[in-house]
Structure 1
Amino acid sequence: MEGFENEDEYFEIEMLLNWEPVGALNACFFAKRGFQVEVYEAREDIRTAKDVKGRSINLALSHRGRQALKAIGIEDQIVSKGIPMNGRMIHSHSGKKSSISYGTKGQYILSVDRANLNRELLFAASQYPNVKLNFEEKLQHYSAEKGVLTFIRCDSATFEVSHDLFVGCDGAFSTMRKEFMRQSRFDYSHVYIPHGYMELTIPPKNGDFSMEPNFLHIWPRNTFMMIALPNMDKSFTCTLFMPFEDFEKLTTGDEVLQFFKKYFPDSIPLIGVEALKQDYFRLPAQAMISVKCSSYHISSKCVLMGDAAHAVVPFYGQGMNAGFEDCIVFDELMNQFHNDISKCLPEFSRLRVPDDHAIADLAMYNYVEMRKHVNSKWFIFRKNVDNFLHFCMPKTIVPLYTMVTFTRIRYHEVIQRSKWQSKVINTVLFVMGASATVTGAVFLFKYSPKLLDIQQLQNWNFGF
């Protein structure tokens, strides 16, 4: 592939990935600079695998991720295999549907198949002659002191490798991160939320989508919810998010059917009665984890990226996008520091830790918004107010979702700016509401004196 920036540079970089798209994308970024890159994957090559096993939940590709794909020249081919979602389609108990746009006209997120994205990224990495892909070789141990990784092959044979830089992109349960936890002053925490997820499917109907395809469909039920994202084969991938104890209460197919009749009645003819009864018990509900740690590097020899550094719950659709942004931020630092890894690594940790912690918190918040707040008339009103003010003052007022999804404003700055905007807007709405209340009371007193005496006026609650 053309475009090497440092063809004479010889610097060995090793990537670890667990079908983690961040690892394959990173390989492209480093290879483009002319570095020698080796990629190690514990499982078989997904490009030739007959049975793809792994995590579910469709991926939502947005601006941050697209910018990273654009930087290595594969944005268009990934976008062409995704389905635009212009907003949320809310399904009420009664089956009534209402839409909430994500942003202004032309702003959308893309529903992307995880397996296909991994294949495309591995194929893109394989096009560089300075990239070597290794499969079915699982990391057993990393020694920071020796600078050595120990792997085991599928035939149980072990071997060791050493390189100039190790990049751990091996997921939320990262083996590489275990060595970080042995280092002094390394902060680490993880939280399992009390809710699990289960995947169901809405098949095509008469060869076409059975619902509006260009939306993320949500059935919000306050303490739990179901969502559905469109696929290229005209099906929808449904994900039911619910407390584990609620999953455990449903032990038979008939109980599952009655539960769906009560909470998601319009989804039953879409999924199918028998398919629903069977698919619910196909796999148990899966757990969701949020990981925070600091810092992301050890000296100038090792760095964590993607879920290995900052696994987040999926409710903002930013897990992959934040991981892809890791890649482009590191690439920008390589430009800034002229490929000096010893300067890039500490600066990468300094920049990304507060941002990745921020998106972890935002993702937790968005679950409450998706399953509960979208049912609120006040929430819808505020959304409309925010969008109107953004239209009038596009540089001054930017809705929270727009900043997260359609810009590269740093995540922690997004939170700070959103808090300031909310304070200003709420103050304005309060003053306007109070003024309207006072004006109405004065009007009533002036033109209907018989309806209101002085004592009543003194006791009036103006909402202050």
Structure 2
Amino acid sequence: MQTPQKIAVVGSGLVGTLLAIYLKKKGHTVHVFDRSPDIRTVEFSGRSINLVMSNRGWKTLRDIGLEDEIKKIGIPVDKRGIHLQDGTYTTQHYGKEGEAIYSLSRGILNRRMIDLAEEAGVEFFFNHKIWDVTLSTATLHIGESERGEWTDLQYDKVFGADGAFSRIRHRMQRQSMFDYSQEFMKIGYKELHIPANPDGTHKIDKNSLHIWPRGNFMLMALSNLDGSFTCTLFMPFEGENSFEQLKDEKALVEFFANYFPDTKEVIPDLVEDFFKNPKSYLVMMKCFPWTHNDKVALIGDSAHAIVPFYGHGMNAGFEDITILNEMIEKFGDDWEKIFREYEISRKPNADAIAELSFRNFMEMSSRTADQKFLLQKKIEKWFSDKHPGKWKPLYSRVTFSNQPYSEALAIGEFQNNIMEKVMQMPNIEEKWNSQEVEQKIIDLLKK
């Protein structure tokens, strides 16, 4: 057990709340501050992308004894359900039999996590606006407005878990030798929904992540416990097939009738949802260092905001906690060493999942509709089932293992180079599961 300290966590999102539980169970006094109201008292805003929990997130929850509790509010999803424009529907399993990600409502999960944190003894301070931090002394500065009177709150440690536009990181950015980059995608998103059937059942398969891939835009849907689906329309802000073109009801209805004809019966509130819910932006942010001496550390999106196309924003943030916890177990009260080893370990892996997430938009929006791509995935699964020690598909490395993201990315690129050569074999469509193809992959792996 560490020497008890007084620790502040800024941000009551999923990563900040779970971190607070970890720190409290280690004997520390933990206060969580958030400028927003208590999420348990407000209606969610209509700008959510449902979360998917995979192995990395479950490990962090399991280590603290919360895995079973959170699984109660999730739905297992073991495949993609791909809706083509001509009405064809196909499925593509994510991994081996029994492997699944879990669909979770962000709002429901966040509310439950705060309940669990309070049960553990964490104190929450909502509607408390942190404007700045003195890094050298871990002093928070709080007040009603940025230019008004502030109150100083002294802590032993401060963790910035306040997201992509973190106030804690904003102060760190003003230090020398702090690297920072931010990039907005030209693609945004808007939330829609598929309501439940009158009897509370789901209108489409609840155990699939549904994708309507259309090139530079796509629709996706993930199931909720109440029988509904949270849908997300991703598309460019400007240009052909963009948000700027969907200005009125007529344009919207015609667009969906053309590109998503099979949604007419399942999204009855399309027009209302579309014009009520805001357009939201997707931002990627990288920085380094993530810590300041033994006083302040960034975690989750505050350190590495990524786009959602691999479903790993939450999982990567939870894995930050796993690694931080390992360093605490290893180095005890040496917080400067804990922080240093934590950021050195996590930075290359955060960069890797950022790259993987960015690339996966093209896979989801375009390649899932490409027969050649689907055949490649089929060959990979077939070979992996025959030779599990020689081949694990990239998605499985990222989602169904705890292999470092950076290793998964490097091996995934190596394997993709092999598959490019395999896909060029004559008549690959007819002989995809032949001994010739099997031997070709084995030979290429040896090289």
Query: Is it true that 1:277 corresponds to 2:268 in the alignment?
Result: no
Q: CA offset at residue 338 of structure 1?
A: 2.2
Q: CA offset at residue 392 of structure 1?
A: 1.7
Distance in 2 (alpha carbons) for counterparts of 1:230 and 1:143: 43
Query: Is it true that 1:323 corresponds to 2:317 in the alignment?
Result: yes
Distance in 1 (alpha carbons) for counterparts of 2:285 and 2:257: 36
Residues 429, 376 of structure 1: CA spacing in aligned structure 2 closer, same or farther, 3 A cutoff? closer
Distance in 2 (alpha carbons) for counterparts of 1:422 and 1:195: 26
Distance in 2 (alpha carbons) for counterparts of 1:68 and 1:280: 36
Residues 427, 265 of structure 1: CA spacing in aligned structure 2 closer, same or farther, 3 A cutoff? closer
Query: Is it true that 1:250 corresponds to 2:246 in the alignment?
Result: yes
Does the residue aligned with 1:161 lie in a helix, a strand or coil? strand
Spell out the pairing of 1:290-439 with structure 2 (5 A cutoff): 290-427=284-421, 430=424
Paired letter, 2:253: L
- Give yes or no for contact 2:47–2:191 (8 Å, CA) kept in 1: no
Question: What value does the CA root-mean-square deviation take over the aligned residues?
Answer: 2.0
In the alignment, which residue of structure 1 is the partner of 2:23?
30
Distance in 2 (alpha carbons) for counterparts of 1:407 and 1:377: 27
In the alignment, which residue of structure 1 is the partner of 2:127?
136
Distance in 2 (alpha carbons) for counterparts of 1:111 and 1:147: 37
Distance in 2 (alpha carbons) for counterparts of 1:139 and 1:99: 47
Residues 187, 265 of structure 1: CA spacing in aligned structure 2 closer, same or farther, 3 A cutoff? same
Q: CA offset at residue 333 of structure 1?
A: 0.9
Spell out the pairing of 1:178-257 with structure 2 (5 A cutoff): 178-207=170-199, 208-245=201-238, 246-257=242-253
User: Deviations for 1:211-250, whole angstroms, at most 9, x for unmatched residues?
Assistant: 1110000000011000011011101111000000111111
Distance in 1 (alpha carbons) for counterparts of 2:98 and 2:212: 25
- Give yes or no for contact 1:136–1:153 (8 Å, CA) kept in 2: no
Residues 335, 55 of structure 1: CA spacing in aligned structure 2 closer, same or farther, 3 A cutoff? farther
In the alignment, which residue of structure 2 is the partner of 1:259?
255
TM-score normalized by the length of structure 2: 0.91
User: Deviations for 1:88-137, whole angstroms, at most 9, x for unmatched residues?
Assistant: 000011222100000010111111011111112111211223x3221110
The correspondence for 1:40, drawn from 33, 48, 52, is 33
Long gaps (5+) in structure 1: 438-464
Residues 342, 318 of structure 1: CA spacing in aligned structure 2 closer, same or farther, 3 A cutoff? same
- Give yes or no for contact 2:47–2:278 (8 Å, CA) kept in 1: no
Distance in 1 (alpha carbons) for counterparts of 2:63 and 2:301: 21
Distance in 2 (alpha carbons) for counterparts of 1:80 and 1:301: 37
Residues 104, 30 of structure 1: CA spacing in aligned structure 2 closer, same or farther, 3 A cutoff? same
The correspondence for 1:88, drawn from 80, 84, 99, is 80
Percent same amino acid among aligned pairs?
37
Does the residue aligned with 1:98 lie in a helix, a strand or coil? strand
Q: CA offset at residue 52 of structure 1?
A: 3.5
User: Deviations for 1:56-102, whole angstroms, at most 9, x for unmatched residues?
Assistant: 11111111011111111111111111111111000011222100000
- Give yes or no for contact 2:164–2:285 (8 Å, CA) kept in 1: yes
Does the residue aligned with 2:17 lie in a helix, a strand or coil? helix
Distance in 2 (alpha carbons) for counterparts of 1:168 and 1:117: 20
Paired letter, 1:393: H
User: Deviations for 1:410-457, whole angstroms, at most 9, x for unmatched residues?
Assistant: 1111111112222334445556779x99xxxxxxxxxxxxxxxxxxxx
Distance in 2 (alpha carbons) for counterparts of 1:43 and 1:248: 30
Q: CA offset at residue 10 of structure 1?
A: 1.9
- Give yes or no for contact 1:318–1:359 (8 Å, CA) kept in 2: yes
Paired letter, 1:380: L
Distance in 2 (alpha carbons) for counterparts of 1:324 and 1:74: 13
- Give yes or no for contact 1:253–1:278 (8 Å, CA) kept in 2: no
User: Deviations for 1:239-270, whole angstroms, at most 9, x for unmatched residues?
Assistant: 00000011111111111000000000110111
Q: CA offset at residue 326 of structure 1?
A: 0.4
Residues 429, 241 of structure 1: CA spacing in aligned structure 2 closer, same or farther, 3 A cutoff? closer
Does the residue aligned with 2:82 lie in a helix, a strand or coil? strand
